[in-house]
Chain A
Amino acid sequence: MTKRLLVTVVDDDESVRESLPDLLKVLGYSVQAFSSAAAFLGSADIENNDCLILDVAMPEMTGPELSVELRRRGYRIPVVFITAHRDYSVPPLVPGQDAVQCLLKPFSEAALIAALDTAIPRN
């Protein structure tokens, strides 16, 4: 059996933090969830993450800000942004860069799987 891919969810909304990890686990991923950027940055194994699912609008530090901070620290981890704000300004997703896709809440299971497949090529 292959090692499960680690996906970390950072969202200040509790219902997302409850529901999304369960779905990701059912889909075969290992999952971490943090309620803020600061909490994630303070965790032990950032480098083991295969994909980050970041909420865009969070107090203190937004998802894109966290993404910039991680790159500044030298991490190259694919990121999928999720947001409930349709008009929220999301930094442009540059191919080859960290950001893979921005999903608008509520998003479907298929959209999530597709985004993850893009972020983590299966082979």
Chain B
Amino acid sequence: MSGLAALAALPAIWVGRDADYVLETLLDALLSALKADFVCVTLEGPKPKSRIRGRSGVTPAHDQLLRALAGTFGDDKSAWPPAGEISVGADAISILSAPMGLQGEVGVVVAGTRRRDFDDETGGLLLGAAANQAALALQAVRRLDEQKQIASDLDERVAQRTAELARANEALRFAARESREIVDNIPTLVGLLSPTGQVELVNRQIHEYTGRSTEELEKWGMSDLVHQDDLADALDSFVAGFAAGEPFEIVYRMRRHDGIYRWFEGLHHPLKDAEGRVVRWCVSCNDIEDRKQVEDALRERERTWRSVINGIPGLTATLSPRGMVEAVNRQIVEYTGCELEALRGWGSNGIVHPEDMPHVAEIFGKSIAAGASYEIEQRLRRFDGEYRWFSNRGTPAFDASGQVVRWYVLLVDIHEARLVADALRSSEDNARSIVSSIAGMIAVFTADGQLCGGNQQLLDFFEQPLEEVGRWATNGMTHPDDLQYCIDSFMGSIVSGEPYNYETRFKRADGVWRWFNIRGQPLRDASGQIARWYGLLTDIDDRKRAEEALEVSERNLQLTVDTIPALAWSARIDGTADFFNRHYLEYVGKTPEELGGWAWTAAVHPDDIARLGATWNLARETGGNAECEARLLGADGAYRWFIFRANPLLDDAGNVLKWYGINTDIEDRKRAEESLRLSEASLAEAQRLSSLGSFQWRLDTDELTFSDELYRIFEFDTAEPATLEQIAARVDPDDLPLLTEKMELARVGIDDHSYDIRLRMPDGRTKHLRSVSRSGTESDGRRVFRGTIQDVTQRKLSEEALNELRTELAHVSRVSTLGAMTASIAHEVNQPLAGIITNASTCLRMLAMDPPNIEGALETARRSIRDGNRAAEVITRLRAMFRKTTNTSETVDLNEAARDVIVLAGSELRRKRVELETNLASDLPPVMGDRVQLQQVILNLLLNAADAVTDIRDRPRRAMLKTSEDEDGNVRLTVQDNGGGIDPSSSTKLFDAFYTTKASGMGIGLSVSRSIIERHGGRIWASANDGPGASFSFAVPRSPKGYNGGDATAYSAHTQLRPQGEGQ
């Protein structure tokens, strides 16, 4: 390879060099390229030469070789065979030979070796190519030498002539004729031109060649003398050259007398005087037709050769023995974008990667110093600035004395291979540990695809030995659906050398198929041949499933967006909308065009637009989520409430890219909220109006929840949660035991409490509360006590006032009743008074008699005392009836009470001539109540009965009072009359206030009677008799047995609540 490179580099380094150089470098290159024992070059022509170079010990003597060659192949070197065998001394030597020049006119190149297999195509081709290149170069060298010689001779002679002309005018003309003779005899075409280009003199050869006269020649620029194709260039060069005044040459085809054009090389040389002015131009035209043909042939072959060389993926260069870049091939220039001069600065100008430079410099330096081949991998900068990895190999060429005469350098692009190798090397560095520990499975294949290694993960996955895994294509561990694809992908890469990357399913040891991503990279050896394939198997099953799910989800995305029960939209960062889902469009009944930009705001309720806009603007300023409730006008013309929610889509830097929003219909919720709000408001209002608060008491934590109204009732600070201690401090100390008892009952699970309790407010006010509560269970199972507490202070006060009023009324009623009986009562009192006074008078007169009637006086005195007592009894009864009593509770014997009333009313009844029959039950149980009030009722009934019979004229006026105990254990009293009876339709109104059937009277008697009886827990009613008249009855409960008249409430003392501040 390096020899080839050296050969390829030869023409570039031969330009402008002499024949010796050409020969030396040719020998070096061939010896290196052909792996020959020796190479010999023999030149023909004016300066015949022959050189030999070879490895010592195997190189025959030069003259001995030449003799053997001539002896074997003949003297005509051009007839020598391309390959053959000769004997030099006792040695049989294989020979390759190539002529230089078409007929070997330049010389011959011979390479020889003792090896038998020397005769190969490559060697012959190389040798032939080298010979051709050398021939071209040597011919150029030779021509150059000739031309130099001619020019040199002419210069010399013209100078002599000029000097002579200057010395002697006469002699000059003679000399010119003589020089004419000389010029005419020069075996080439020569002419002299004036400084302006006019033909002054042409030699005979010109006339003979062209067949034209001097005059005709002068018009060469307008004739067919110069080939039409070359004329323009020739004229340009001619004009330019004359203007420059320096030697120049023009190559063109010149027409021979017979019409044939031949290639000539016109060398123009200026003749200058002492002042340096051009006085003449000497033109020599050399026929180069033959050479041109050779050159064309050689160029053609060289083009072929070049294409071969350029086809080699390498960059070649030659270096001097000291390492200086001497020449580079086209690829280097193309690759680096640098010309030779720049390339020579590779040590410092960055063409070699700076990181690689120390390494390169070291290896290169050592190699140059030692004259030993080197091989470096380094990065080389491409014309576009990218560094690529190259294999840089340098081989020295030695001369016969073993001195390095030249370095041949080949640079091969190994970039891809290097990357792979790097990757593989880095993984191989810690192969055992890393390969085993990486998550993926590693498989190593030979160049032809046979599995030759794998990490533990690989074996563990299949739970199979390596050999079995290697039969992946046939043993069923690859999914049947993927198998053909796998084989195609894998084998395709094995054949092409390209990395492979595909996905397939493998059956795990437990029979589960799992998706894998398989990536393979070839590892190439130094020669670029694939040594191994490294495969990485990555379990992508989860990802695959996610992808499949994603695919499904994406497929459903549009469907989803359109079917989600909400209005979905998106907006650009400036807030203008650019998407609406189907629901949105259907709801507002518009097209996307009608809603786009800001047009969507037209559907927002006017009252909500400002708030929504503010929220939206704020969200866009801050990039945060937005949420706002607003009404949207539907296609049906009705507004519905929606909650607008918008979220920004952010890029990695947190900038908003887009907005996505969902409007959810909350109309129902809104309505529910509204009704809830109304309901809560009305509940609060109701609580406030009814002074009714509600509470909840967690039995486990004693946590209390009070309604607002309850806070007001207790006059607690709403800012702080109510506590049991606060409550205890408010409760009237007299009622604290009651509260304690009720709470204790609640704690032990006794349900359903209803009781009244009093609060003592800090300013001394008393509040009456009624509590109704019941235990319940929270959803979490905890027991709670819920209830209501009503401030009944007003009611209590009202009741008390009413009671007072009733008492007052009863009293008034009683007084008025008694007032109506004044005459009767007065009669009742006056009767005994009359007796007393009469007796007293009698007594005095009996004592005043002479003798005093003592016995009579005593009798009258006794009667006075009796009547006095009788009057006092009446007064006592009356005083009781007139007394204004509050409700007292005592045991009352209704029979006794009735008798007293009969005594009081007796005279009234007598006056009205009502016969009263009494039928009082014996063993009548006592009742609990207010005696006077009960008597008032009895009196009322009696007087009513008397009134009822007043109008009776045709029969005795009768009334009957009877007492009894009824079947319910109540004590009943009935007053029956034989009067006009009652109208059944009015029986229910009889007890209403101000209802009366009498001409006189206010109609409050029965009403008061009813309220009295009801206060005693009884009832009062009227009924018609079987015969004439009516019966009025009342029944009141008998007093409980053993009733002691005290307060029967007993207290439990399990929990004694203490007001705050009382200490522990």
Contact = CB atoms under 8 A, between A and B. Distances in A.
Contacts of A82: 834
A89 to B, nearest CB: 11
A59 B912 CA distance: 9
Interface in B23-71: none
Contacts, number: 88
A84 B911 CA distance: 11
A59 to B, nearest CB: 6
Interface of A is mostly: loop
A72 to B, nearest CB: 21
A82 B853 CA distance: 27
A23 B838 CA distance: 7
A107 interface: yes
Given A26-B849, A85-B823, A105-B833, A19 B863 contact: yes
Q: How large is the interface on B (under 10, 10 to 19, 20 to 34, 35 or more residues)?
A: 20 to 34
A15 B863 contact: yes
Interface in A63-118: 82, 84-88, 104-109
B856 interface: yes
Contacts of B842: 19, 22-23, 26
Contacts of A107: 834, 837
Given A26-B842, A27-B845, A57-B827, A16 B910 contact: no
B875 to A, nearest CB: 15
B911 A19 contact: no
A59 B823 contact: no
Given A23-B841, A26-B849, A57-B910, A15 B834 contact: yes
Contacts of B828: 84
Interface string B812-840: 00000000000110111011111111110
B913 interface: yes
B860 A22 contact: yes
A19 B827 contact: no
A22 B833 CA distance: 16
B846 interface: yes
A106 B836 CA distance: 8
A26 B846 contact: yes
Interface in A1-53: 13, 15-16, 18-20, 22-23, 26-27
B834 A105 contact: yes
Interface residues of A, number: 24
Contacts of A85: 823-824, 826-827, 911
Interface of B is mostly: helix
A34 to B, nearest CB: 17
A16 B841 contact: no
Contact of A86 (B823, B834, B849): B823
Contact of B911 (A22, A57, A106): A57
B547 to A, nearest CB: 121
Contacts of B838: 16, 19-20, 22-23, 106, 109
Contacts of A106: 830, 833-838
A109 B841 contact: yes
B867 interface: yes
A59 B831 contact: no
Contact of A84 (B826, B839, B845, B853): B826
A19 B823 contact: no
B836 to A, nearest CB: 7
Given A15-B863, A16-B834, A106-B836, A84 B827 contact: yes
Contacts of B849: 26
Contact of A16 (B824, B831, B853, B911): B831
B863 A108 contact: no
A18 B835 contact: yes
A16 B832 CA distance: 8
Contacts of B846: 26
Nearest to A15: B835
A122 to B, nearest CB: 18
Contacts of B870: 15
Contacts of A18: 835, 863
Looking at A13, A18, A84, A109, the one whose CB has the most chain B CB atoms below 10 A away is A84
A105 B838 CA distance: 10
Contact of A26 (B826, B835, B845): B845
Interface string B840-875: 011001100100010010011001001100100000
Contacts of A108: 837, 841
Contacts of B911: 57, 85, 88
Looking at A18, A26, A59, the one whose CB has the most chain B CB atoms below 10 A away is A26
A21 to B, nearest CB: 9
Contacts of A84: 826-828, 830-831, 834, 907
B915 to A, nearest CB: 8
Contacts of A13: 831, 834-835
Given A19-B835, A26-B849, A105 B830 contact: yes
Nearest to A113: B841
A105 to B, nearest CB: 3
Interface string B357-369: 0000000000000
Contacts of A59: 910, 913
B917 to A, nearest CB: 14
A108 to B, nearest CB: 7
A87 B834 CA distance: 17
Interface string B890-912: 00000000000000000100110
A84 B836 CA distance: 13
Contacts of A86: 823, 826
A42 B544 CA distance: 141
Nearest to A13: B831
A22 B856 contact: yes
A27 B835 CA distance: 17
Given A20-B838, A84-B828, 12 more contacts: A13-B835, A15-B831, A18-B835, A19-B863, A22-B838, A22-B859, A26-B845, A85-B827, A86-B823, A86-B826, A106-B835, A106-B837
Return the 6 tightest CB-CB contacts between A and B, nearest first: A15-B835, A105-B834, A84-B827, A106-B834, A19-B838, A84-B830
24 contacts: A15-B831, A15-B832, A15-B835, A15-B866, A16-B835, A18-B835, A19-B838, A19-B839, A19-B867, A22-B842, A22-B859, A22-B860, A23-B839, A23-B845, A57-B827, A57-B910, A59-B910, A85-B824, A85-B826, A85-B911, A105-B830, A105-B833, A108-B841, A109-B841
Interface of B: 823-824, 826-828, 830-839, 841-842, 845-846, 849, 853, 856, 859-860, 863, 866-867, 870, 907, 910-911, 913
Interface of A: 13, 15-16, 18-20, 22-23, 26-27, 57, 59, 82, 84-88, 104-109
